[in-house]
């Protein structure tokens, strides 16, 4: 049984979304199903019903599908006409814990925002979204999740023809920075206020009431959420790949797994997206780009913050300018954790930077290096071979731990919580997608997820997915909107 969907967003008004029915497909069949997530949401269907509902062929009670309107800055250029071009918000579902979630289909057909697109999604990117979002969730990174991938039985034309699929995305909202920009660009300040009030109700901050600084406090809260998000990406080596403002949720959750990749060898310039020629969205640029994106959100909120624009700008500037120091402090706390310090003030930023410098210089694997450092602290470290260039650094680091009375066991425990032993390696993800496309079976994904769902534990199969070799990523390329 499943509770009826609500239509909160659909009811906001015609400017926010367009009623649109999902398209037809020939032979829907469930390829991937997220049992744990379905349980949390109280969704319980037989596979035949799942296939119909999560390909948009049959509507849940209460559902009024809409395509959501939004705009956004794509690679720095404002595009006033985006919106769900191949997606449908079916409605909102309230979980048994009272939390509200959007149930959103992607690849479910054309909408008024499709422009020249076909409204469809190919099977491989659909599977990537399932695999990567589940892996990120398990890593502890805030993210939208994937309930299902249903193959449609139809062919999708991309570089080559291939099978099509529909993804069911579960998110605590789809309020993008680009949604705010959509209305701000049209001078619809009342609509911007409606969005801000909705975002506050869903994502906080709590207990604002009608405080005069309500929208300034909201901006400050969104900045906190985004800093937390980017720091988490940096911690695990995630490269989002397309941080356009339409792909940034104000909730601070990761969305849009199109051209994402994981960094192997440590390199702030790491970039894999085939269209990101300037490296705008490279690993090390992500924090600065997030600040740029937040400045775009701040611009949208100015009229809500003060009728006097100069005053509103004066109010928001300290927040946007303060981002840098706030991010640096949060990044340092995260790195301190990766090195075994629970109190970030006990480790100097220079110590962290010195490690990163060697890693970059020697092209050391980011994930593997931190795992090895943790192993150096165990009683039996005979198996651990660290790079010669790190020997001096390791001595300094261990001396600092000792100086602050942190035992090797305690440091190792802290490190174990911050450093995954396994991440979704690019080439292994590609292999799994390929196998899944060939077999049309869930086995390869489920085998990989068995390991990736426990990324801080070494299981029997973990070693099969730890492979790292800088050469693997040499010509690796990812693609948008596939
Ligand atoms: P994305 O690169 O997925 O963030 O998409 C950017 C914009 O292009 C969004 O408005 C999407 O809805 C739209 N879009 C991407 N792929 C398609 C497609 N196959 N058909 C229609 N619209 C699409
Ligand atoms: Mg997008």
Examine the domain organization and report whether 284 and 303 are in the same domain.
yes
Percent residues over pLDDT 90 in the chain? 92
Q: Domain end: 139, 174, 209, which one?
A: 174
Examine the domain organization and report whether 161 and 295 are in the same domain.
no
Residue range 450-470, pLDDT digits in tens: 999 999 999 999 999 998 787
Examine the domain organization and report whether 190 and 304 are in the same domain.
yes
Question: Does any domain span residue 370?
Answer: no
Q: Where in the sequence is the domain holding 40, given as residue range(s)? A: 10-174
Residue range 358-409, pLDDT digits in tens: 999 999 999 999 999 999 998 777 778 888 899 999 999 999 999 999 999 9
Examine the domain organization and report whether 231 and 158 are in the same domain.
no
127 versus 209: the higher-pLDDT residue is 127
Question: Does any domain span residue 278?
Answer: yes
CA 7 remoteness from chain centre = 25
For the chain, the straight-line distance linking the first and the last C-alpha, in angstroms and rounded, comes to 34
Catalytic member of 102, 246, 267, 276 = 246
Residue range 224-252, pLDDT digits in tens: 999 999 999 999 999 999 999 999 999 99
Examine the domain organization and report whether 197 and 245 are in the same domain.
yes
Examine the domain organization and report whether 215 and 325 are in the same domain.
yes
- What confidence category does residue 449 fall into, taking pLDDT thresholds of 50, 70 and 90? very high
Q: Domain end: 311, 330, 349, which one?
A: 330
Whole-angstrom distance, CA of residue 342 vs CA of residue 360: 25
Give me the mean pLDDT over the 197-214 stretch.
95
Confidence check: pLDDT of 300 > 90: yes
Examine the domain organization and report whether 209 and 277 are in the same domain.
yes
What SS3 class is residue 137? Answer: helix
By the 8 A CB rule, do 460 and 471 touch?
Answer: no
pLDDT of residue 384: 80
Our answer to whether residue 246 is catalytic in this structure is yes
Distance 335 CA to ligand 2 centre (A): 30
Whole-angstrom distance, CA of residue 465 vs CA of residue 259: 21
Give me the mean pLDDT over the 178-191 stretch.
98
Ligand closest in space to the Cα of 259: 1
Question: Does any domain span residue 245?
Answer: yes
Examine the domain organization and report whether 192 and 219 are in the same domain.
yes
CA 240 remoteness from chain centre = 7
By the 8 A CB rule, do 377 and 406 touch?
Answer: no
What's the chain's average pLDDT? 96
Residue range 33-55, pLDDT digits in tens: 999 999 999 998 899 999 999 99
Examine the domain organization and report whether 325 and 199 are in the same domain.
yes
Whose alpha carbon is nearest atom 17 of ligand 1?
117
Whole-angstrom distance, CA of residue 373 vs CA of residue 335: 13
pLDDT of residue 50: 95
Question: Does any domain span residue 353?
Answer: no
Whole-angstrom distance, CA of residue 296 vs CA of residue 175: 14
Domain count, the chain: 2
Distance 148 CA to ligand 2 centre (A): 18
Examine the domain organization and report whether 160 and 65 are in the same domain.
yes
pLDDT of residue 139: 98
């Amino acid at each position: 049984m499943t509770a009826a969907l609500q239509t909160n967003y659909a009811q906001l008004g015609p400017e926010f979304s367009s009623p649109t029915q999902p398209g037809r497909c020939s032979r829907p069949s469930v390829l991937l199903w997220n049992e744990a997530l379905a349980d949390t949401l109280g969704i319980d269907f037989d596979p035949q019903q799942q296939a119909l509902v999560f390909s948009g062929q049959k509507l849940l009670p209460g559902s009024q599908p809409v395509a959501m309107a939004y705009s956004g800055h794509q690679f720095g250029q404002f595009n006033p006409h985006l919106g769900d071009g191949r997606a449908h918000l079916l409605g909102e579902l309230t979980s048994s814990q009272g939390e509200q979630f959007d149930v959103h289909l992607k690849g479910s057909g054309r909408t008024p925002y499709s422009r020249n697109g076909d409204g469809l999604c190919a099977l491989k990117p659909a599977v990537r979204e399932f695999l990567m979002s589940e892996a990120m969730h398990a890593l502890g990174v805030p993210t939208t999740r994937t309930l299902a991938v249903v193959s449609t039985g139809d062919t999708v034309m991309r570089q080559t023809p291939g099978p099509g699929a529909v993804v069911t995305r579960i998110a605590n909202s789809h309020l993008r920075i680009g949604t705010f920009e959509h209305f701000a660009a049209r001078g619809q300040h009342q609509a911007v206020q409606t969005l801000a009030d909705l975002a506050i109700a869903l994502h906080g901050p709590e207990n604002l009431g009608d405080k005069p600084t309500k929208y300034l406090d909201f901006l400050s809260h969104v900045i906190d959420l985004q800093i937390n998000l980017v720091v988490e990406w940096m911690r695990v080596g995630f490269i989002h790949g397309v941080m356009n403002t339409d792909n940034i949720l104000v909730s601070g959750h990761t969305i849009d797994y199109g051209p994402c990749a994981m960094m192997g060898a440590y390199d702030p310039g790491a970039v894999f997206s085939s269209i990101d020629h300037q490296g705008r969205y490279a690993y090390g640029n992500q924090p600065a780009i997030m600040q740029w994106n937040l400045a775009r959100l701040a611009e949208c909120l100015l009229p809500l913050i003060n009728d006097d624009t100069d005053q509103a700008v004066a109010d928001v500037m300290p927040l946007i300018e303060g981002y840098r120091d706030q991010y640096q402090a949060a990044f340092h706390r995260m790195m301190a954790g990766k090195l075994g310090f629970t109190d970030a003030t006990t480790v100097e930023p220079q110590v962290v930077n010195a490690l990163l410098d060697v890693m970059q210089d020697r092209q050391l694997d980011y994930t593997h290096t931190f795992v090895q450092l943790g192993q150096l602290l165990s009683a039996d470290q005979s198996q651990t071979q660290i790079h010669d260039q790190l020997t001096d650094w390791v001595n300094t680091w261990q001396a600092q731990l000792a100086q602050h009375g942190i035992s090797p066991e305690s440091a190792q425990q802290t490190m174990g919580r911050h450093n995954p032993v396994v991440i979704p390696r690019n080439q292994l993800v590609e292999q799994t997608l390929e196998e899944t496309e060939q077999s049309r079976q869930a086995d390869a994904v489920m085998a990989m997820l068995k390991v990736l769902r426990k990324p801080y534990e070494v299981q029997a199969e973990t070693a099969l997915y730890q492979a790292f070799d800088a050469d693997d990523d040499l010509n690796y390329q990812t693609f948008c909107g596939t």
